[in-house]
Structure formats: C-alpha cells, structure tokens
C-alpha cells in the first residue's frame, strides 16, 4: 500500500487539464484514506507505530499531505471532506505516537503538518484551485 500511495502521488505532476490527472489524484486520495484507516486499525491497542519501520510513518505523512491537498482544493466536491478531516486528525495523532521526543524529526514534521492545515483553512481560497505540488531544483 505504501508503494501504491507513492506511485499515485506522481499524478500531481500530470498536465493540469488532463482527465487522467483528476482520476489519479482522486485515487491517491482514496489510497491515502485506506492507508490511514488500515494503519489506525493495526495500531489500535498496540505499540505498532512506536516500533514500526520508518517507511510506515513516512507514508503516513504522505497520506496526510494528500488528504490535506485534496480537501483544500477544487477536488473537495469529489470526496467526503468530513471523513477526510477526521482521517487527517488521526494521521496527526498517529504521527505523534511515532515521535520519541517532542522536538525530534517526526515531532517537528507533525507540527509543520498541523500548521499547514491551519494555513489552508485560514487562506479563504478553499476549494477554488486544483490541487498541486511544486518541485524544487
């Protein structure tokens, strides 16, 4: 599921007018939601997230970013934004469980995700733009 999630992320780099892009991004959202739900179920009542290999929390952060991007874009009308918001909040909670100390890499990443969520919510342009990513370099 981690590999599927990562591969579906590449649809963000398709041409903005492409119908394939829209379908791929919605599929990335569905995969993100499924991954968050599956990881939440696997970690329920266990310390799985505290001992899980690093690629699990990395994929969880990616899922959270995808969910955040879709809910705060023009694609929000194609998905259930309420369940997406709950999944994003569970993502933050699970990522905090992966953190060993408050200011370690995972803890800082969780704070950044929370700040990005707040920024998107307060931007006032919610739902007007297509979801996008930018690449550096």
Torsion of CA 21, 22, 23, 28, to 10 degrees: 80
- Is residue 84 situated within a structural domain? yes
Domain that holds residue 24: 2-122
- Is residue 134 situated within a structural domain? no
- Is residue 28 situated within a structural domain? yes
As for how many domains the chain has, the answer is 1
- Is residue 116 situated within a structural domain? yes
**pLDDT per position as a tens digit, 15-71:** 888 889 999 999 999 999 999 999 999 888 888 888 888 899 999 999 999 999 999
What does the DSSP assignment read for 47-94?
A: -HHHHS-THHHHHHHHHHHHHHHHHTSGGGGGS-HHHHHHHHHHHHHH
Whether the model clears a pTM of 0.85, i.e. scores above it, the answer is yes
Q: What pLDDT does residue 109 have?
A: 86
The helix/strand/coil state of 106 is helix
């Amino acid at each position: 599921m981690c590999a599927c999630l990562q591969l579906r992320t590449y649809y963000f780099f398709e041409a903005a007018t492409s119908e394939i892009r829209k379908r791929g991004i919605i599929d990335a959202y569905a995969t993100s939601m499924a991954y968050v739900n599956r990881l939440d179920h696997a970690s329920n009542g266990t310390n799985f997230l505290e001992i899980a290999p690093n690629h699990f929390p990395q994929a969880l952060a990616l899922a959270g970013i995808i969910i955040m991007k879709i809910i705060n874009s023009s694609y929000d009308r194609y998905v259930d934004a309420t369940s997406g918001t709950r999944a994003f909040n569970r993502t933050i909670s699970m990522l905090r469980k992966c953190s060993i100390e408050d200011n370690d890499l995972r803890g800082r990443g969780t704070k950044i995700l929370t700040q990005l969520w707040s920024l998107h919510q307060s931007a006032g342009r919610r739902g007007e733009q297509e979801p996008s990513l930018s690449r550096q370099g």
